[in-house]
Chains A and B, each alone.
Chain A
Amino acid sequence: MKKRRERIDRGIKARSEDVYALCSWREMLYLAGPRLLPAAAFLLLPLFLGVYWQKVMISVAVFALLAMSWDLLAQTGMISLGQALFFGMGAYVSGILNFYFGAPPWIAIPIATVLGGALCTLILLPVLRLRGIYFSMVTLIVPLMLVRIIEATKIFGGTEGLSGMTPLPSTLTEIYLATGVLLGVLFGLRRLMETDYGLVLKGIRDNDRSVTNAGINIYWFKTQALFISSTIGAFAGAFMTHVYMFVGMPVFALDYSILPIAAAVVGGGGTLAGATLGAVILVPLSEALRGIGGLRIVLYGLFLVVFIVAIPEGLFDYIQRKYHQMERWVEIDQ
């Protein structure tokens, strides 16, 4: 006798894919739970954390935003290796507005978000026609190039950067601004990708010729996706400028490009929630490993490899499947 694992959808999932008839509190909780849990965690946790872990949480939110910004581009078929461009652009625009024009954070951050996003979109506009690795290479190079430009021309403080930015009123304000935007972006983008508009974006990734053949200008849609994505990244950067009270060349560092990708891959790409989950795991892990010293990066890397090999589809998809399906072993005839 051989055995085979059988997967059965749980009751409410099996009833229908997207139209639910809610009959009881239990069913409502079954559906709302996975959405309420992270929202509640992000909103309540800061109240119980110490100052150090509150800072870690800000970092989590920032990397989650960058990871989602990466995921949105990836879902539209653009693999970016340069989230640092978005982050750095937002950071510098907000820094410049605050430093040279004295704009307070609540004005500088929104302007930097939109303006930074628009600038990134403009910079990448000429390469939107490139596909695959060619697009990726350009996104990798542009932020590194900007660093050298700032270094060589000594504009905006040059290698020293600009310091003495106006801080946000309190750590709690910082946390709730970051987590509030994070939750908004997470649920907003997830909903957007479920609409017909989102379907067109995903269509560009899967088969761009077929989308063109539907009379749709894929470059216009790619531009829109790029703008949404770079706006999210620019917000993260603009926000961090006022948290650090400093902006300088490190904002274009490779960390801001690579870590979000790692988060999206560990959590599972194409879901946005996976990108957030990845950041929630990776950022605190990196902090927790700090005590170990020299081997920190090795352990961190090892952890990443194990994760990617063990759950290649991503943690979020894995959890989602376990949540919606029961598994049992059944005997089968040869």
Chain B
Amino acid sequence: MSLPTALRVENLCKIFGRVAAVDHLSCEVRSGELIGIIGPNGSGKTTLVNLISGFVKPTSGRILYNGQDITRTAPHKIVCMGISRTFQMVRPFYRLPAYKNMIIPLYSPRVRQLAGGQYGDRNAVALDLLEEVGFERDAHVAYKPAGTLPQGYLKRLELAKAIALSPDLLILDELFSGLSLAEVASIVPVIEKLRLAGKTIIMIEHRLKELFRIADRIMVLNFGQKIAEGAAAEVMASEDVKKAYLGSEE
């Protein structure tokens, strides 16, 4: 494939104290691709997401988005450039109805910019977006306080908040964790639809089976380094990956 490169990470390092959370990592994500990043606990997946989204600044290395250097760009500016992410830990406004949780992303300068300077009726847009990720409109789920919603809906709310920003690159940090098989199955079509719309997607996942079904390419991290990359089957056949997940034989 000769799709343009959406994101290029060059020799990225992040050292916390004496631990290298991300260790000389280089990789590329092509436009329109769905790449899955996997790895054992503490392998640096979430740090990588934090680095790309600008919440954490790297010790060394560069991050290029559409050819532009975003290594030192403030996180809110990165969002306005079209990269949006979800958080592994969902922390909504528990007392507010779900759709009110959507107001803050819809208040974003990016949303106004894309709408040609107008914000429009945020409540209506919020309800539409929530319906898109599976808040049944007839059941009025979107009107319930976020604190009363089950985990599945909270994750969907998190996804809807990211989609509200009309990102070109969407990073989903363990979207499926803590969800039942049925809940995962109901979110997968939403992701597929985003892909058809041409979004580039990076998924950090522990749920390998579900991930392999939708990802174009898998990258495996261990101790902050890339130990394998490629199609799901070949990655899982790699000796290094087996060792990382199951421990070495010795």
Q: Which residues of A line the B interface, CB within 8 A?
A: 196-197, 199-200, 202-203, 206-207, 209-218
Kindly identify, within residues 64 to 89 of chain B, every residue whose CB is under 8 Å from any CB belonging to chain A: 74-77, 79-80, 84-85, 87
Report how many residues on chain B are interfacial, defined by Cβ distance under 8 Å: 28
Which of B10-18, B101-109, B214-222, B224-232 participates in binding chain A? B101-109
A216 touches B76 (CB 8 A): yes
Nearest CB in chain B: distance from A77 CB, A: 13
Q: Which residues of A contact B74 (CB under 8 A)?
A: 217
CA of A209 to CA of B55, assembled, Å: 8
A213 touching B122 in the complex, CB below 8 Å, given contacts A203-B93, A218-B76: no
B100 touches A199 (CB 8 A): yes
B87 touches A209 (CB 8 A): yes
Cross-chain contact of A196 among B85, B109, B122 (Cβ < 8 A)? B122
Besides A200-B104, A215-B76, 13 more A-B contacts (Cβ < 8 Å) are A196-B106, A199-B107, A206-B93, A209-B55, A209-B87, A213-B53, A213-B85, A214-B107, A214-B164, A215-B80, A215-B84, A215-B109, A215-B110
CA of A182 to CA of B168, assembled, Å: 47
Q: Which residues of A contact B111 (CB under 8 A)?
A: 215
Q: Which residues of A contact B242 (CB under 8 A)?
A: none
Asked if B137 is at the interface of the complex by the 8 Å CB criterion, the answer is no
CA of A197 to CA of B55, assembled, Å: 23
Q: Which residues of B contact A206 (CB under 8 A)?
A: 91, 93
Nearest CB in chain B: distance from A63 CB, A: 29
Asked if B199 is at the interface of the complex by the 8 Å CB criterion, the answer is no
B87 touches A210 (CB 8 A): yes
B87 touches A213 (CB 8 A): yes
Q: Which residues of B line the A interface, CB within 8 A?
A: 53, 55, 74-77, 79-80, 84-85, 87, 91, 93, 96, 100, 103-111, 122, 161, 164-165
A211 touches B55 (CB 8 A): no
Closest to A202 in B: B93
Closest to B100 in A: A199
Nearest CB in chain A: distance from B91 CB, A: 5
Nearest CB in chain B: distance from A9 CB, A: 15
Cross-chain contact of B103 among A199, A212, A213 (Cβ < 8 A)? A199
CA of A209 to CA of B84, assembled, Å: 12
Q: Which residues of B contact A207 (CB under 8 A)?
A: 91, 93
Q: Which residues of A contact B105 (CB under 8 A)?
A: 214-215
CA of A107 to CA of B164, assembled, Å: 47
CA of A214 to CA of B75, assembled, Å: 9
Nearest CB in chain B: distance from A218 CB, A: 7
Closest to A221 in B: B107
Nearest CB in chain B: distance from A233 CB, A: 27
CA of A218 to CA of B84, assembled, Å: 16
CA of A239 to CA of B93, assembled, Å: 38
CA of A116 to CA of B80, assembled, Å: 34
Q: Which residues of B contact A200 (CB under 8 A)?
A: 103-104, 107
Q: Which residues of B contact A196 (CB under 8 A)?
A: 103, 106-107, 122
A-B pairs, top 6 by smallest CB distance, nearest first, are A215-B79, A215-B108, A214-B105, A215-B80, A215-B110, A203-B104
CA of A217 to CA of B161, assembled, Å: 17
Nearest CB in chain B: distance from A18 CB, A: 10
Q: Which residues of B contact A211 (CB under 8 A)?
A: 104
A sample of 30 inter-chain contacts (CB < 8 A) reads A196-B103, A196-B106, A196-B122, A199-B104, A200-B103, A200-B104, A203-B93, A203-B104, A206-B91, A206-B93, A207-B93, A209-B55, A210-B87, A210-B91, A210-B104, A212-B55, A212-B79, A213-B75, A213-B85, A213-B161, A214-B104, A214-B161, A215-B76, A215-B77, A215-B79, A215-B110, A215-B165, A216-B76, A217-B74, A218-B76
A214 touching B79 in the complex, CB below 8 Å, given contacts A196-B103, A200-B104, A209-B55: yes
Q: Which residues of B contact A210 (CB under 8 A)?
A: 87, 91, 104, 161
CA of A199 to CA of B87, assembled, Å: 20
Q: Which residues of A contact B122 (CB under 8 A)?
A: 196
Closest to A215 in B: B79
CA of A215 to CA of B111, assembled, Å: 9
Q: Which residues of A contact B76 (CB under 8 A)?
A: 212, 214-218
Q: Which residues of B contact A217 (CB under 8 A)?
A: 74, 76
A213 touches B79 (CB 8 A): yes
Nearest CB in chain A: distance from B48 CB, A: 16
Nearest CB in chain A: distance from B177 CB, A: 18
CA of A200 to CA of B111, assembled, Å: 15
CA of A217 to CA of B109, assembled, Å: 9
Nearest CB in chain A: distance from B229 CB, A: 27
Closest to A220 in B: B76
Nearest CB in chain B: distance from A270 CB, A: 11
Nearest CB in chain A: distance from B248 CB, A: 37
